[in-house]
């Protein structure tokens, strides 16, 4: 089995609470807040643990908030590879209005990095890479980190015989999609894919054609587009596949994307072919949809979902 390294450049301490009604003006009395770890790579490591696997977790932490986040990670059985930064790790704050069930989410930007911070992070990540390592870069970039950070990490991975899975959004995703990024696997959701394509992608064939076009520009060797309840489409220059798992009653879809990446990465680390990794990723995402809140997937849920997961080969446009 190959080692898995998750990379979280912009983690968050996620706080959530409830209040009867949200309105401007008066002080709003809230319930006791719940504190949780946040950030794409951290969530992927959590999900890998739920699936019975292990991973190393690189995470950049700053200030008292970073120290609190570190405590929570240890409580979850994750021993991170921590890089200290000046400033404060960001917080996100979610308040649910009990009268309507609507949730209001506030996300802070995180500490600003300078060029020396970037160099230290790349050096530390490089130290964790060995031949066969499956690295996962997931989540947003903090202020000061350039849009081509994924390209830089991809070069490190290539130099050390490692593979890189990327699940990012916004300008950094657009920078990768422009081509020549050299990453092994690039994942995005359907909305992000349509934004990059500049057109709707209503069918699986449409999605597969777009994904293969990205492969042709060397954006990635494998491109995966999550189509929500319709499953995920995966393409390489040699072909395209679609995997789906029926979920009749969604409890919470929060963390389904991170659960997919966890299942996909874990399967790859165990030597699975990309098509089989796609199936297991979809099963893990489906399992996540059956858990409450931010609980992510479970091993039992993923195993049960796997038996119901189907995969087909597509003929891309």
- For residues 5, 107, 282, 58, the Cα torsion angle rounded to the nearest 10 degrees is 0
* Strand ordering across the sheet containing 12-19: 34-38, 12-19, 90-97, 103-107
CA angle 210, 216, 217 (to 5 degrees): 100
Which residues are marked as active site? 258
Q: How far apart are CA 179 and CA 132, in angstroms?
A: 24
Task: Give me Rg for the CA atoms of the chain.
Answer: 19
Q: How far apart are CA 51 and CA 62, in angstroms?
A: 29
- For residues 275, 281, 284, 286, the Cα torsion angle rounded to the nearest 10 degrees is -80
């Amino acid at each position: 089995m190959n080692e898995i390294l998750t990379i979280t450049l912009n983690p968050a301490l996620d706080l959530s609470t409830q209040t009867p009604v949200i309105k401007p003006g008066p002080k709003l009395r809230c319930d006791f807040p719940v504190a949780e770890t946040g950030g794409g790579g951290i969530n992927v490591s959590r999900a890998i643990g739920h699936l019975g696997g292990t991973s190393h977790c690189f995470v950049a932490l700053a200030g008292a908030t970073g120290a609190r986040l570190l405590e929570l990670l240890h409580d979850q059985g994750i021993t991170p590879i921590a890089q200290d930064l000046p400033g404060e790790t960001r917080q996100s704050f979610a308040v649910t209005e009990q009268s309507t069930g609507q949730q209001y989410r506030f996300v802070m930007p995180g500490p600003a990095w300078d060029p020396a911070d970037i160099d230290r992070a790349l050096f530390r990540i490089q130290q964790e890479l060995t031949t066969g390592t499956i690295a996962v870069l997931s989540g947003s970039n903090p202020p000061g980190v350039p849009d081509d950070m994924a390209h830089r990490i991809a070069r490190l991975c290539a130099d050390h015989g490692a593979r890189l899975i990327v699940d990012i959004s916004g300008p950094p995703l657009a920078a990768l999609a422009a081509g020549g990024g050299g990453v092994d696997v690039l994942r995005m959701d359907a909305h992000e894919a349509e934004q990059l394509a500049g057109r709707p992608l209503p069918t699986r064939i449409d999605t597969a054609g777009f994904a293969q076009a990205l492969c042709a520009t060397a954006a990635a060797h494998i491109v995966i587009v999550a189509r929500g309840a319709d499953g995920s489409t995966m393409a390489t220059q040699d072909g395209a596949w679609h995997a789906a798992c029926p979920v009749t009653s969604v409890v919470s879809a929060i963390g389904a994307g991170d659960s997919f990446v966890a299942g996909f990465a874990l399967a790859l680390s165990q030597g699975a072919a990309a098509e089989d990794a796609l199936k297991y990723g979809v099963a893990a995402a489906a399992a996540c949809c059956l858990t409450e809140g931010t609980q992510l997937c479970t091993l039992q849920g993923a195993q049960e979902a796997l038996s119901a997961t189907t995969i087909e080969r597509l003929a891309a446009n």
